[in-house]
């Protein structure tokens, strides 16, 4: 199984991070429908039994890739220029409508959980799962802590769940240390000047 970068602190940020440009060149995690199924298993959005029942489908694959691009571009514009998420919301609502998603209250370990259940006979289950997670994110308190990595060359997103909401980097290993090193070099240069 492929390895995936899970630094997003949310299904949606991890989902859009499956294509990223850490240092200029594009890294693509989703080269096939199977890769996407592997990702669902890895993050725990669907179990193996359920995933085994989902057949490879070129159209569904394309829909997932297109939706991933839409979510990432919408987040990018939203963070940078406060551009509304209207297009993303419209597309997401259409996905939910097509899959006939309806809310249900479920008793889970003695607490009541609001769940969303698709009901159409033919629909893109993986896409619908992602759309459901997206509405949960938009509807959550955490959404205001959506951030892009401070390295302008890096395209990774995350929900800043740190206590002071002061997280700046996708990860120390990928961008944090680089920044530290370049600041150190810059400071040294400034001193020499
Ligand atoms: Zn980064």
Residues 22-73 have pLDDT tens digits of 777 899 999 999 999 999 999 999 999 999 999 999 999 999 999 999 999 9
What CATH architecture applies to the domain 11-166? Orthogonal Bundle (1.10)
Structural contact between residues 71 and 85, judged by C-beta atoms closer than 8 angstroms: no
> How confident is the model at residue 122, as a pLDDT?
87
152 alpha carbon – ligand 1 mean position (Å): 8
SS3 for 85-149 is CHHHHHHHHHHHHHCCCEEEEEEECCEEEEEEECCCCCCCHHHHHHHHHHHHHHCCHHHHHEEEC
120 alpha carbon – ligand 1 mean position (Å): 39
126 alpha carbon – ligand 1 mean position (Å): 27
76 alpha carbon – ligand 1 mean position (Å): 14
182 or 136, which is more confident: 136
174 alpha carbon – ligand 1 mean position (Å): 6
Residues 105-154 have pLDDT tens digits of 999 889 999 999 999 888 999 999 999 999 999 999 999 999 999 998 89
151 alpha carbon – ligand 1 mean position (Å): 5
């Amino acid at each position: 199984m492929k390895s995936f970068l899970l630094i997003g602190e949310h299904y949606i940020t991890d989902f859009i991070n499956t294509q990223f440009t850490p240092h200029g060149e594009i890294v693509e995690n989703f080269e096939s429908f199977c890769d996407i199924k592997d990702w669902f298993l890895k993050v725990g959005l669907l179990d193996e039994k359920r995933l085994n029942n989902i057949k490879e489908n070129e159209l569904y694959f394309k829909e997932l890739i297109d939706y991933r691009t839409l979510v990432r571009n919408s987040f990018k514009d939203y963070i940078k220029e406060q551009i509304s998420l209207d297009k993303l919301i419209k597309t997401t609502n259409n996905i939910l409508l097509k899959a006939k998603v309806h809310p249900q209250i479920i008793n889970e370990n003695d607490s009541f959980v609001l769940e969303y259940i698709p009901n159409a006979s033919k629909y893109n289950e993986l896409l619908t799962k992602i759309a459901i997670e997206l509405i949960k994110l938009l509807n959550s308190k955490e959404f205001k802590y959506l951030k892009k990595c401070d390295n302008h060359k890096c395209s990774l997103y995350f929900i800043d769940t740190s206590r002071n909401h002061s997280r700046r980097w996708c990860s120390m290993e990928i961008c944090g240390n680089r920044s530290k090193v370049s600041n150190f070099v810059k400071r040294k240069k400034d001193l020499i000047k």
